[in-house]
A and B are shown apart, each in its own frame.
Chain A
């Protein structure tokens, strides 16, 4: 039996986590399974809302089973009950019988309907916020998407001035100076940046503000509208564009080779991803299936006075048309949008993911992403990460990779991407922690495979560096900077 205890830090800190280990081993060993074909994985799932039960089973092709345990929630179980709860959970996991109603067939992680829930959240954000009485930023750690640090903003702007002065001296400065922000939050970042730009430009005396074009891009038109209002005093210098996050080139193709700065904040952690695992030297793709557990089916059907089939049909309709139209089309169940949002939230809380490992026949046959022009990035790019770490399970961060590789061509030869997000900075971290998926309000969150972005950027001639997020010391957010090398 392979035992993989990932949350090293928590094991040191939490007596409850340590004391759960004995009963877990007891329960696994008491189960009627071939122990040589069994893997036991213990995580510490930091997200209060997530897609897993305390104990789940994952078939590994036809060769065995992985039992995955959330040590954090083991600590919530009364000590006297722990052995019994774990024993029955392991038994259930091994029998493959976690029941529930499937929302989809088995699919790759990035194809899961949880991403349709996620997209719905951003499309119908105002309805969600009205129903909850909270703006989405309040659900983020720290309560805002971008804190502001004037010193960092000054540094960045002055660096741009230096570059532009140099290019101007060589008659190589274009007439229009583009800065792009993707993931605009409440617009505060843009406002601070632009206000300071004006102030510093006056001092610098080169009239760069006249030539500045600040583009705000976001995949939520609601967020974009709100942010744009924050910088309305900058008039024609600012444009707001709805951008398909994973394919920025679709909207922003005109910007190719022109952007001096692309500022990206809290976008990548919210984009679809697959996971790939190396188990006993063999590569597997993690397939998932979203489902609603039996207990939640009972609760939801009782709350809305429908049978399970009708419930599943309503969930499908919600994902297709959103809460407002759902209310209009099924007024007997949802007399107003608020009630439809309550249904949405109830379903979202209930959604779980089952997982299984499917063999991957060669990394080159796996497609990480495809560019607008059809260029395919194959799984070969993952090889150095997987080979370096032995048995490991990693995010492919497909959406982030697609977005990132679509953004790099927008850069001017001397431009840079500055990106704040939840980045892993070493593949080794995957061996000692859990990095998603979790639920943030109505959205999905996964940490982003930073080393993979680094590799992808390297192959495109960009150097990537990671530094702690200066605007909010102590947070999990990391700053990625990418700029051309050589």
Chain B
């Protein structure tokens, strides 16, 4: 693998026209069939944008998903969503569990199909992301389990079945997103336990993404990543993917302080700010990170998904990220950028 590989966190820019069409689906103006075809076209375009930006490891842009939660909750057997109409596609469903979830006896969410589609449209390595059990649980009204932890574990077992199916379909780089964890720092041990249930016996490279939320391009919480450590060291993942561009680089100290000896997915692009970072700033950030993490354990990515950025801004940011990375890569390898 190339030094300082570049990738994305998951979601890609959702153009205004696609947002309208998604909402129109909920208003019954277009069919599920047509929306599905629209999604496929949009995914091809998103992958192409990443390829043109020369991103090393691409994603499908998560363009089928209304938000970070509903796509999963709507498909998990035993999760009840009584009101499936939405005023705006990005709204969250009101989800409830009234009985323990049925144990998974195979994949039910069809995430592997989504991966297969992406595999067909690009020859580049693919990162496939899905929301983790802890965050999914925070959007479910639980009337079934004696404790919240039991619900989280049940969701984790369900996602493990999906992960196995994804690996069988050829997915070799999987990422668990936990966008809600920063709001519940006291539950990080539970979240890590659940992550380990998800990755259990799945032959893939695993990343864990923890951010401060990206709902409507705003942080949902503020704070520092101190809460993750040392608990996150028990997570059986190969990489943690954290945001730094927006929050500043102070938390890089935690990597050394807690001797994190796996990969770091280093956020160098602020996805909440439409101002495009110059490549030189990206390079400066990477150089700072290299003071704490060796180059052979550093992957370069935006802080979070790009979904709230306008398409042109997203493209420019990815190009800046790739150019800035190339500058540092050239310094490290002694080759021209």
Contact = CB atoms under 8 A, between A and B. Distances in A.
Interface of A: 170-172, 174, 257, 364, 373-375, 378, 380, 384, 409, 412-413, 458-462, 484, 486
B88 A458 contact: yes
Interface string B200-233: 0000000000000101101111111010000000
B88 A375 contact: no
8 contacts: A257-B218, A257-B222, A373-B274, A375-B310, A459-B88, A460-B218, A461-B215, A486-B92
B185 A413 contact: no
Contact of B220 (A374, A375, A384, A413): A413
B306 to A, nearest CB: 15
A296 B183 CA distance: 64
Given A375-B310, A378-B16, A460-B216, A171 B223 contact: yes
Contact of B215 (A171, A458, A486): A486
Contacts of A364: 16
A170 B223 contact: yes
A170 B216 contact: no
B274 A413 contact: no
Interface in B318-335: none
Given A460-B216, A461-B216, A486-B92, A174 B222 contact: yes
B219 A257 contact: yes
B32 to A, nearest CB: 22
A484 B218 contact: yes
A423 B16 CA distance: 28
B34 interface: no
A412 B213 CA distance: 13
A409 B20 CA distance: 23
Contacts of B92: 486
Contacts of B273: 373
Contacts of A486: 92, 215, 220
B20 A380 contact: yes
A486 B213 CA distance: 11
Contacts of A413: 213, 218-222
- Sort A-B residue pairs by CB-CB distance and give the 9 closest, nearest first: A461-B216, A172-B223, A373-B274, A460-B216, A461-B215, A413-B220, A413-B219, A172-B222, A486-B215
B223 to A, nearest CB: 4
B218 A170 contact: no
B37 interface: no
Contacts of B213: 413
B261 interface: no
A461 B88 contact: no
Contacts of A257: 218-219, 222
B275 interface: yes
Contacts of B224: 171
A461 B223 contact: no
Interface in B72-96: 87-88, 90, 92
Interface string B272-293: 0111000000000000000000
Given A257-B219, A384-B87, A459-B90, 8 more contacts: A171-B226, A172-B223, A257-B218, A380-B16, A380-B20, A458-B88, A459-B88, A460-B218
A75 B216 CA distance: 51
**What is the size category of the interface that chain B forms with chain A?**
20 to 34
A373 B310 CA distance: 11
Interface string B145-176: 00000000000000000000000000000000
A486 B221 CA distance: 12
A461 B218 contact: yes
A484 B223 CA distance: 17
B226 to A, nearest CB: 8
A459 B14 CA distance: 14
B96 to A, nearest CB: 16
A170 B215 contact: no
Contacts of B16: 364, 378, 380
A458 B286 CA distance: 36
A449 B88 CA distance: 20
A412 B222 contact: yes
Interface string B295-313: 0000000000000001000
A340 to B, nearest CB: 44
B19 to A, nearest CB: 9
B185 A170 contact: yes
Given A170-B223, A380-B20, A409 B218 contact: yes
Contacts of B185: 170
A353 to B, nearest CB: 33
A172 B212 CA distance: 12
A337 to B, nearest CB: 44
A172 B92 CA distance: 26
Contact of A172 (B90, B218, B221): B221
B310 to A, nearest CB: 7
A483 to B, nearest CB: 12
Contacts of A458: 87-88
Contacts of B221: 172, 413
A5 to B, nearest CB: 31
| Most A CB within 10 A of own CB, among B16, B90, B219, B222 | B222
A96 to B, nearest CB: 39
| Most B CB within 10 A of own CB, among A171, A172, A374 | A172
Nearest to A375: B274
Contacts of B222: 172, 174, 257, 412-413
A486 B274 CA distance: 23
Nearest to A460: B216
Nearest to A411: B218
Contact of A373 (B90, B218, B275): B275
A458 to B, nearest CB: 7
B278 to A, nearest CB: 16
B274 A484 contact: no
Contacts of A373: 273-275
A179 B282 CA distance: 34
A459 B185 CA distance: 28
Contacts of B218: 257, 409, 413, 460-461, 484
A375 B310 CA distance: 8
Interface in B44-74: none
| Most B CB within 10 A of own CB, among A374, A375, A413, A460 | A413
A247 to B, nearest CB: 15
Contacts of B310: 375
Contacts of A171: 223-224, 226
